[in-house]
Structure 1
Amino acid sequence: MSHNKSPNVINVEEVFGNPRDADLVLEGKDGFGVSWAWPKELGAGLMTRVKLRSGLALGLADFKIAQDISLGYEQMSMPITFSFCAYRHHPYFIYCTDAKKQLCVAGTNHGSLTYRPEWNGEFHYPHKVPVRQLSICITPELLGMLLSGLQGRIPGEIDALATGTTDISFEQTFTTNPMVNRTVHQIFDCTYNGTLKRFYYEAKALELITYAIDRIIGDENSNHNYEKLSPSDVERVNKAREILLGNLEKPPSLLELSKQVGTNKNKLNRDFQIAFGASVFELLRTSRLEEARTLIESGQFSVTQAAFEVGYAHAGNFTRAFRNHFGSHPKDHMSTTVC
């Protein structure tokens, strides 16, 4: 999958200071975590780093930027990291500056396990697209302890990560499901404080690591070898996605959508599963719910108004779908400024 890099590259230290200060031993003033706010001229939201225990930390990115930018990183080491995206079906891109090539693409319904002992490059984020990205950083020692008993079942590359016997960059992506997305949102929406918050974060982080390892083992032992999409297929599914996201209230049927992008409905659904880890209908449903949440949190829409705005005719159906996806009631996200 190709993508043109944004010319607006900003060094991450100019925005948030030295990211290497936020390693696995980082502690804020309260001994729990520290946050960085996006400069107002670039966007709104926070980047937060939380130490859970020795060898385990969370990175929480919850923001929306006002312009297409790439955050550039100079030579640095990136620890073993499990990453999950919980907002939007718009991918983000990671580039290796030296090789001038795209390393990976991730987005909603995708997660990844990565390790880059020596790396410099860019993270590209699209403008005006809400981002909720969770990173779980773990040391080889703790990962090895968690994986004890799974010898012979896990891929050799991951075993090497857990034993600390590799200095080779590694990346593996996997698809997620609504349960994982709900868990990620629950971490961001946690209302506990202090020690209870740390307990909650750690329990959810271990739950997500468990899911990721299970998915990776399943993919490794599976006989399925999904073909990669051709450039024309990639262009087609991206065009179809844009059509859906631009018509959430009154989207075309699957048959109409497939005709608009020049394919048949079965192939379009299959290609969506490969590209986004979701069917056309699943992507539409998730995008509607995420847009509705954004509208509700804006303070300009009631729950019923937001439901109608994204195409739900019955507020009851919307509320059930919202709770299943986010694990919370839509009213919990209402601003007090809603009339």
Structure 2
Amino acid sequence: MQTQIEPVNGPKIDNRKSSRKAPAPKRKRWKRRVTQVFAGALLIILGAGGWFYLTPSGSDIRYMMADTLITSQHRYMAKYLIGQSELDKRVADYANEFDQMGQVKDNHNVNLAAHPDSAVKVEPISTSRFKGFIMYVHDPKMLRVITTNTVGSGETVLSMVQRTGAIAGVNGGAFDDPNWSGNGFKPAGIVMSGGKLLYKGNGMKAKVNVVGIDRDGLMVAGRYTPAQLLDMGVSDAVTFQPKFIVNGKGLIKSEADGWGIAPRTVMAQQKDGTIMFVVIDGRQPGYSVGATLYDVQKILLKKGAVTAANLDGGSSTVLVKDNAVVNKPSSKYGMRYLPTAFLVFDHPERVNAGNIWSGIDMEHFDSSQKRPANKPST
């Protein structure tokens, strides 16, 4: 009798080759994914670069960024956005445009008898992009330009306010500032205080853009010679630009012409004679990045400004009231040391700024020389 062997249960063996490919090694899969990510990122970068440099909307943002750099200590970096020749042309175009704006005729439609009282009030302003303050000085005759009292160095606005017993103050005019680290002693253009011409950097016949006030309290802004300012009865003035509201109309046409985003200090006058100082903080992401002059123009037109002009801004921007700094200056070193400031006094007729530059050869003064040891660089 034959014994039958039962088949053993188990998996069937199929000697045919599988139609599916074996999975790629992990290293190859990783390299493929990296290549895909890199290629995608490259396409995004190329697309963004094309938009940034070749489209109108991209160019608007690119030039806005360049203008922002032009108003800062990193002006040279704007060439990487628009090229050196375009940078030089843009700076020259702004200077020419500001000169033209300074020559627009002002009809001075202001009723100086209408100011209500001698109050000095501060109002906060805030948007999604910037924060700042408006200081209202209802009696324009309360203003005086005050200068540093230290030979060879500027002075902070807080120090000027405390030293003179002023109610309040903001930073004033332009000054010689090599490499944005100058000592703040040498003004640019002119300085007038209490009806006296304290400084005339380019002589009596050279026209400069000024911001100030006459002996009756009328705001004066535009392009004048020192001789003309004296003939006009201007009392207090410094050099800066541009004048951008004249006869209640804004001269800045759009955001693109707003001279970049930066901290700002602006002086303006309402129809009743009230002086407004707008102080905008900037260069502080998460708090306030700054404003264009077009931004400030819109604010001031809503507030009824009939005249407005730009003062020194950037890290110089500061508002002091009641012996305290109200805003947040952008410099990590704090307030800058400046040659001039607009201060507010209860009795301005008693104020004598003196002339710190008298007898000094300012033509050959070196603004890059070091300050006293207790004064940090800006």
Normalising by the residue count of structure 2, what TM-score does the alignment of the two structures yield? 0.21
Q: TM-score, normalised by structure 1?
A: 0.23
Query: Over alpha carbons, which structure has the higher Rg?
Result: 2
